[in-house]
Structure 1
């Protein structure tokens, strides 16, 4: 007897979505339909509270996030459950075709499954084995070229930006990590008081320690 492949979390939620006509936000299950989600990164967020890990959710609320080289997580966000979410409006999707939101999230995730870690001077490898630059100009006939994954240039924010660009959210293809960081800071909402404390308390404690030490040395 042929084995039956178990449905993924995204497929299961899609059935629920189609059957019920919509999916409500569920913080306990980490379901945030049509949202960009954010969570703190240990140590890094302690020093820079506006910097964290970002993902984008499908229409059923399943989180997709670029968690590392060649890996886009599904329904298991790196660094823990979301602390903050930014609710977007699916009516602002200007890309054509049915289910444009989920298609864009899927295509962006598939592309980032080919992203690799690299340093200056290292070659990136395309899925076909070609070696060379990772820019669109270097591979005009390949939609899924490989680029470097690093903190400053090509990261989880870039993955979310690509999804928004593919769906032409707000009729724009200029989304990037800077605009996402700004809008998430401006429009993002914490899922709970505990999430707010988790994000800001380490920074406040570190700032207090630094100020206390500075005052002690200045008063000597």
Structure 2
């Protein structure tokens, strides 16, 4: 892991989406890293970004085990490239076909952990429980806006009663 260069080999990375993550902190933008650590993410309609995530540098990463991929690093990279090529031809849909779906397709293509049933909901929750923040500042970037909103709501309710 190289936090200064945002290199997270064999990892799923995540970053907050302004406004959306502020209201729902478990919802954010996801990408998947090549064996070299280069990030690929479905950043918008017909566009897969390489090493420049759609909403900024990763705040969390979930390191996966490359030994759970038949064929090792070459299969991992091939699956990430194949999923990226597929998603370069797709329209982005926030609810149904999004960055999480792109990562799920890559994991399905490589049959990570002998599974081909990865999906965006599973990834959302597994990432929530298995990811590590890259720093305390990254944790603040994710949670501080939400906590400020909660405090404002609580104070507003308290002082209007």
User: What's the TM-score once normalised by structure 2's chain length?
Assistant: 0.97
RMSD: 1.1
Distance 1:215 1:152 in 2: 35
1:97 to partner: Cα distance? 8.3
Figure out how many residues of one structure are paired with residues of the other and give that number. Answer: 161
1:150 to partner: Cα distance? 1.1
Does residue 114 in structure 1 map to residue 89 in structure 2?
yes
What is the CA deviation profile of residues 104-130 of structure 1, one whole-angstrom value per residue up to 9, with x for unaligned ones? 0000000000002xxxxxxxxxxxxxx
More helix by share: 2
Q: Any unmatched runs of 5+ in structure 2?
A: none
Does residue 159 in structure 1 map to residue 113 in structure 2?
no
Partner SS state of residue 216, structure 1: helix
Distance 2:14 2:120 in 1: 13
Does residue 88 in structure 1 map to residue 64 in structure 2?
yes
Distance 2:127 2:46 in 1: 25
Distance 1:35 1:151 in 2: 22
Q: 2:152 aligns with which of 209, 213, 217?
A: 209
Does residue 36 in structure 1 map to residue 12 in structure 2?
yes
Bigger radius of gyration, 1 or 2?
A: 1
User: What's the TM-score once normalised by structure 1's chain length?
Assistant: 0.72
Please show how residues 48-67 of structure 1 align to structure 2 within 5 Å: 48-67=24-43
Q: 2:78 aligns with which of 103, 112, 136?
A: 103
Residue in structure 2 matched with residue 176 of structure 1 by the alignment: 119
Moved over 2 A (4+): none
- The structure, 1 or 2, with the larger RCO (C-alpha pairs under 8 Å, 6+ apart) is 2
1:166 to partner: Cα distance? 0.2
Partner SS state of residue 157, structure 2: helix
1:216 to partner: Cα distance? 1.5
Partner SS state of residue 43, structure 2: strand
Distance 2:22 2:67 in 1: 36
1:215 to partner: Cα distance? 1.2
